[in-house]
Structure 1
Amino acid sequence: TVPTLTNRPGLQTLVTLVSMVKAVQITDTEPEINDTSLAADLYRLQSWYKKIIKISSMDLDKYQQFVQTVKVILERISGKNNPVVKETRLSTVMQKQVQKILHGLREKEENLSLKDRIMKMETEQKEVIPKNIRDQIHRQIEDWENKDKILSTRASDYVMECLQDNSCLTLTAPSGVGKSCIARHTALVLQRAGYNIIPVEIPSDIKTYYQPGKQTVFIVDDICGNFTANQQQINNWKRLLPVINTIIADKCCKIIVSCRLQVYKDDKFNILLPFKSCECNLISDKLGLTSVEKTTIAKTYIGKSMKSIDDLSFKCDFFPLLCSLYHEKEDVDVNEYFKNPFDVYKNELHRLSEHGDDGNYKICSLALCVLFNNQLNEKWFEGKVTDEQGQIIKDTCEACEFNSIPKTKLKKALDTLDGTFICKQNGIYKTVHDKLFDFLAHYFGQKMIECLIDHGDSHLVHERFIWQKSADDKNSDVDFIIEIPDAYLPSYFERFIKDWSAGKVSVVFDNNNLKVSSFRQQLIQYLKQLDQSQQVTLANTKVTVRLKEYYVSGTSPLIDTCYDGYTDIVQWMLHNDVDVDQCRDDGATGLVMASQEGHADIVKLLLEKDPTVDVCGYNGISPLCIASFKGHTTIVKLLLEKNPNVNLCDNIGCSPLFMASQEGHTDIVKLLLGKNPNVDQCNSNGCSPLYMASQEGHTDIVKLLLEKNPNVDQCDNNGYSPLYMASQEGHTDIVKLLLGKNPNVDQCDNNGYSLCTWQVSKDTLV
């Protein structure tokens, strides 16, 4: 009877089961009425299931139709003699049973829906990335996928090959060569292999979003500066090196970095060893685009017009960018474009100025984009015009020789440039490529330099402007640098002081011009003309505005100049009552920085002002400790004259003597031993100075330490003694010296093994 049907599986289960047993593929389209095949019947059952699962009641006509359909189908599937389908009358009992079926199916569906929601909530809880950020990343990756036109080249193939054996890889090249394209393309390939893509906007993202054991590829674009090397960014990445090393050791993760070649070659970048471990230079002889590859790229973007490109244009480093940008342009002579691409853009700007108000609006809107350092937020155009906005617009229009323009029209002009000069991402207007911004910054730097000095973003002003007499600086030959004529140097100093006074200390003292002595002398002369009270205030100003999240908090001009070795500026500050003990939030002072970097003249100047010599900086390192570690003998001498605590250790228990013994700085060990330090002081791993010198093979230092009668049997946390380490490393001369102090040769480690157990050769253990 029909009630027997209620004991059978639900309709959907029945459909699935029958289709599996019979190996029937359910059709995607509604079958003809006269089609009585099994596939057609299964489709009808499934169709009814999808209808009834969404309703709680059914009128009599539909109910009759439902039962009749099921009956007929089951007759065909099961046979007419099957007792399940004999009953044809619709009794009250039957109605109740069918309602029970409907209710049961609905309840089952709701339970499944609830399970799905619970699973989704559990997944959300495991996510370390907030949903709004995940949504942004998703949109960003979708954009990468839409623009992923990269063709297989020897460079892209080599990158994939390198990632087989390396967890961290750095792509280097000038702007426009294709670093970002290859990085993103590689990430998309890894995504198809199960990796999650995380674009790193600021260094701390990599620490915040790292999940051990989860397949992840981190993409870091333009690391440490998109024009020149940014010291503050380098410092911040340096602080994250332990995290980076942990991620690299996690075989589930990859880090792909793109870096402008001039940044990568900067000496300051050398401290970031993980990012130097595997370089792919995209303009090297090994990886640079071949003529065949360039021809293929040209065909992809510009088709038959490529025949007009001469051989000289093919040799351009940023040839891929030219092809991509030309693809977006119309009515431009291809040969002229590839010979002098930026002349084409310059002429285009000139033509805009000849197109009346609309053209003028576009030029001014591009100038605004430069003023905001390629980060013009669309919110800037909302609301009433503020006094500051009014002045910026007024000065920009005057510099372009136009009348003032309403900011609503400037926004409209930017929107019309979308896809040619400008693109908008997450509400931010920026150029379609950084190389194009380099050109625009240089173009407007020549056209309206005073306006840029007065109103330009602080990073723009202190990073891209170079005094014309700074030719000895290696950054002066960077493409599209903006030169400062002598006539505008006072204006530049005025802006320098303005940002300094506003607490933008990190940005101001990362200025490349400060590397040049003649610029610093000019600056000091300008500073001396200020009121004495203003000079004192400037000398003691600490950072109050963190323009970018990654800057170290609490730094000051004194700390920064001590780090950079600008002795002349330090002298000026010391003459203006600067607090020599001012420190960053991590405890670092000017004395710590100068001792670390080996600036002996500055250390001498600071010590004349009686600073606290035992102050500790990042990781609890004192000036004496860091100087001993770095091997700065002259500075160690100067510091010891101030009677510091020679036993003061860092956060992991390393003393100055430990540091010098480990690094092999014999002269410094002599100086420290002259102050009677604790020669048996161990770090958190139980390692003593003698242990480290024995392990590293520093024979002369072992001799010096043994003269102070240290505990030669003192072991580390694993039970290894100095003799054990020297024997293991094969340092025969040190083994002889240690045996002369009658150590316990039968001493065992924590696992119960002695030297003899390890079968140390007679050539090593005398």
Structure 2
Amino acid sequence: MMFLLKHDKGFRILDKELPDPIDTSIDADLTRIYFYTQFIVDNTTTKSFDTSAFLEIWDTIVKAIVRIGGDSMQNQCDCLKTEVIGENIKGAMLGLVEIREKMTVLKQKLESDLSKAIKDNKEEEDFNEEVYYKEIDKWLDEDKMFVETKASTSLLAALRNGQKSITVVGSFCVGKTFTTRHVALILRREGYKIHPVSSLDELKKLCVKGHRTLFIVDEFCSGSIIKRGIDIKMWEKMSDDLLGSQSKIVACCSLMLYQHSSFKNARLSFFRSFVLNMNSSYALTSDELHCVAKRHTDIDDTLIQKYSSEFPFFPFHYSKCSLFSKTYKEGKHISKFICHDALFINAMVVYKFQLDTFYTDDKLKYTALALIVQMNNYVEEECFRESRTGKNSVLHQVNTISDSCKFDKKNKDNKSIQLFKSLSDIECELKSMIGSFVIVMTDSKNSLVYSAKNLSVYEMLATYFKEELPEHFSGKFPVHKKCKKLQ
């Protein structure tokens, strides 16, 4: 039982020592019970105890049992203390001793097999220096085009001043990865070892106590909803102890994930100690936008002003994005959106790629954005609270969008699985996309209204869904007249 509690349920039960007397946690009490059980059944232990030793042990174990099981356990322990042990019970106790001896042999065998497996796989787990230096060389080459910004100087200053954990937050293509890698290369010149990692196990393998190391986690907890949930559970175990005194970690997290309820409700306080938000306090200034644009292309000031006012990114920047570059290089879905200037990628490409990703990995976000188009860029907060189910209801519209997208799934019994539990799930997704795709306005009744971030983004959404879902999105979708009054 103790073996299962320790290795399966994660209780910290010590093997051969008693906990501190003042420690009354469940882990400590289970350790006391385990320790004295071993002490009594161990065949090297004296076969008898004097009364004072017995009473001291008994009192300690009873207190531990009562703390774990409640006051009702006190009476059962009192009765057991005075009960006469018969031959059957003696036989059972001797049987337990025999079982314990067999478990000790089994444990030794398992440990031996585990050591052999680790040794056999050591070559596969060894750090691949060739791949590492190729990746760093790529960073160095791309860094030649970097322009210093408020975000990069602030990130560097925080790391130099002793901040151990920093989360860089921003919508797609604001430069989270580019900025983080630039700062990492500066610290590398100052003596830090730089390690990009994607999992906690990888970090543990590469972390050497006493060595100055900067770990970079790109695309923090990204991917499908299932993968995101698994990653969040994994990173919840992160702590200062795992890093040691000399190491630091920077995680690049999308604004949509950071604002999502699944992230807010997770036990990720380690990654909230210092947040650098590149969509608000550390967003590119107008001067920085101008310098970045001039560094990358020869576009004129008019276009710089256009893109800096309408989009949270420069389209040519997005070809540097780690998620986008794979699709861009393969030429999927984007050839017809490339501008005549090869250095300047149309903003539509950026959004189309994100929407295609949502269709595969985050169907609720895809449905929520389609709803904005369906309701002419004016989605009232109240509609998520309504109980209507008719053709004009929001619930009906969401379900028809889901049907058009062929999101309906079947379980092993061939029964339909709902995409969402309630309309509040759709509203939750809209909230998570504030700043990236969505803004929130207040109407004359002081109620919230969700709409696309600006007219250009709405037109892009309408064009996209009319092309992808022509059966459902036919005709025109003009901006709601109420929306025009609020903007």
TM range (shorter): 0.3 to 0.5
Asked which structure has the greater RCO (Cα within 8 Å, sep 6+), the reply is: 2
TM-score (norm 2): 0.45
The structure number with the bigger radius of gyration is 1
TM-score (norm 1): 0.30
